[in-house]
Amino acid sequence: MTRNEIRELAAFQADQSKGACALSFYFQPDPPQDRSHRREAIVAKDVVKQALKSAAAQGKNGSLHADLDRVLELATNLRGNVRGRAVFACSAQAFWREYELPPHLGSTHIYIEPRFQLKPLAALLGAQPALSVAMVDRQRARIFDLRLHDLRERAAIVHMLSRSASSYGYNGYEAGHAERRVAEEALQHFKAVAERLRIDLEKGLWERLIVGCHDSNWPEFEPHLHPYVKQRLIGRFSADVASVSNEEIRDHAGAILEPWIRERASTKVNEALDLAKSNSRGVTGLRRVLQALETGAVQSLFLSENYSARAVECTHCGHLDAHLVQFCVACGNSTRELADVCDAIIPIAIRRDIELFYLRENDGLDRAGNIAALLRFRSDQTSGQVAAAS
């Protein structure tokens, strides 16, 4: 799943005047030890049937019914699936997207709302960097993009080495000469791979790097990495380029990435909370976070795992307000109440590439109102509002 695909979902709005709804379906597979029970597909079918019933009760038939029927058919065939699945549908506007996801979605659930429900997705991928995985040995390199579970090969580099001295039966001077030639070829290969990584970084093709190579190759390869590339390296695993499977690459990279994201979340949230106290590049609490979002100042957003709050949204200009006012303070038009402000915040964060962190059990964040943000700049330098509020 790419960022553009997520942005497309975040930008989608069902035309309610024509009775259209945005349907989001999340499928959570059973844990492997329960696989034999095959409960998951039954749960999924029940969830969809329930949604069909309540849609019929509310007189929402037509296109929504068609979407639900199609999801029901899909749910029926999900038995034994090991991955999560998400479907976003609105046949009234000819929209249907299906994605495979890692199996950590929480629960199988269906949402029928004006916008697609992106919270489970945001919790999974909000803080995921554009990750590059480079598999390297002395004569080959394969460079992959990994987005959630989606592994795609972006480049393959091959510099076949000359045959080694021993395979010619050389000895003495000639053997030494041949070994030196092979070493020189490997050196040039490592340089070329390192250079390719640097160029792709500059093009914005990746943000963080994981390297997979034999332990014996790492000291040969590492010195050639550009300092900027090295700064973005988050880990390395040992694997054989020629024989490693995509599944193994995903597993190795995931084992490095997940703790890295957790660590980064806790470092960054502490930074935001500290900076909020010193009244600089951090804000806490819904009201100030919403203000910072509107000024475009937010770089990273932190939410407690089950955070939810009521707010209003202007039906005309989209202004969000933590005070449940009837008329928009920005333009005077009427507002509508949001049962959960996250339904409006998450699409904004996705559209603007704001790093989104969900934190489980963080005392500092809990005390700060369960929501905080790290800013790119002090928004009060232009408006004066944030300073006045704190």
Give the nearest distance from C-beta 296 to Zn ion in angstroms.
Answer: 17
Q: By C-beta, is 42 or 324 nearer to Zn ion?
A: 324
Please state, in angstroms and rounded to a whole number, the distance separating the CA atoms of residues 318 and 333: 10
Tell me: does residue 328 bind Zn ion (CB under 5 A): yes
The torsion of the CA quartet 254, 259, 264, 267, rounded to 10 degrees, works out to 180
Tell me: does residue 90 bind Zn ion (CB under 5 A): no
Residue 245 φ/ψ, nearest 5 degrees: -95, 160
User: Among the candidate windows 101-109, 127-135, 188-196, 323-331, which touches Zn ion by CB under 5 A?
Assistant: 323-331
User: Among the candidate windows 122-130, 263-271, 307-315, 382-390, which touches Zn ion by CB under 5 A?
Assistant: 307-315
> Residues binding Zn ion: what is the number (CB under 5 A)?
8
Please state, in angstroms and rounded to a whole number, the distance separating the CA atoms of residues 311 and 286: 9
> Helix, strand or coil for residue 134?
strand
Tell me: does residue 314 bind Zn ion (CB under 5 A): yes
Give the nearest distance from C-beta 319 to Zn ion in angstroms.
Answer: 4
Give the nearest distance from C-beta 36 to Zn ion in angstroms.
Answer: 55
DSSP result, 191-243:
HHHHHHHHHHHHTTS-SEEEEE--TTTHHHHGGGS-HHHHHTEEEEE---TTT
Tell me: does residue 312 bind Zn ion (CB under 5 A): no
Please state, in angstroms and rounded to a whole number, the distance separating the CA atoms of residues 284 and 286: 7
291: burial class by Cβ within 10 Å (0-12, 13-18, 19+)?
A: buried
- The single residue among 56, 331, 387, 389 that binds Zn ion, judged by CB under 5 A, is 331
- The single residue among 330, 344, 364, 385 that binds Zn ion, judged by CB under 5 A, is 330
Number of neighbours of residue 47 by Cβ within 10 angstroms: 20
User: Among the candidate windows 75-83, 239-247, 284-292, 329-337, which touches Zn ion by CB under 5 A?
Assistant: 329-337
With a CB cutoff of 8 Å and minimum separation 6, the contacts of 325 are 312, 335
- The single residue among 11, 82, 317, 339 that binds Zn ion, judged by CB under 5 A, is 317
Give the nearest distance from C-beta 324 to Zn ion in angstroms.
Answer: 15
Furthest C-alpha separation in the chain: 90
Give the nearest distance from C-beta 317 to Zn ion in angstroms.
Answer: 3
Handedness of CA 269, 271, 273, 275 (dihedral sign): negative
Tell me: does residue 123 bind Zn ion (CB under 5 A): no
Candidates 45, 43, 25; CA nearest to 89 is 25
Q: Which of residues 202-241 bind Zn ion (CB under 5 A)?
A: none
Q: How many helices (H) and strands (E) in the chain?
A: 13, 16
Question: Is residue 264 within 8 Å of residue 127, measured between CB atoms?
Answer: yes
Give the nearest distance from C-beta 325 to Zn ion in angstroms.
Answer: 10
Q: How does strand 335-338 pair with strand 311-314?
A: antiparallel
Tell me: does residue 11 bind Zn ion (CB under 5 A): no
Tell me: does residue 311 bind Zn ion (CB under 5 A): no
Tell me: does residue 290 bind Zn ion (CB under 5 A): no
Give the nearest distance from C-beta 25 to Zn ion in angstroms.
Answer: 32
> Helix, strand or coil for residue 354?
coil
User: Among the candidate windows 47-55, 175-183, 296-304, 313-321, which touches Zn ion by CB under 5 A?
Assistant: 313-321
Q: Which of residues 333-372 bind Zn ion (CB under 5 A)?
A: 333
Q: By C-beta, is 133 or 290 nearer to Zn ion?
A: 290
Q: By C-beta, is 110 or 311 nearer to Zn ion?
A: 311
- The single residue among 138, 224, 268, 319 that binds Zn ion, judged by CB under 5 A, is 319
Interacting residues with Zn ion (CB under 5 A): 314, 316-317, 319, 328, 330-331, 333
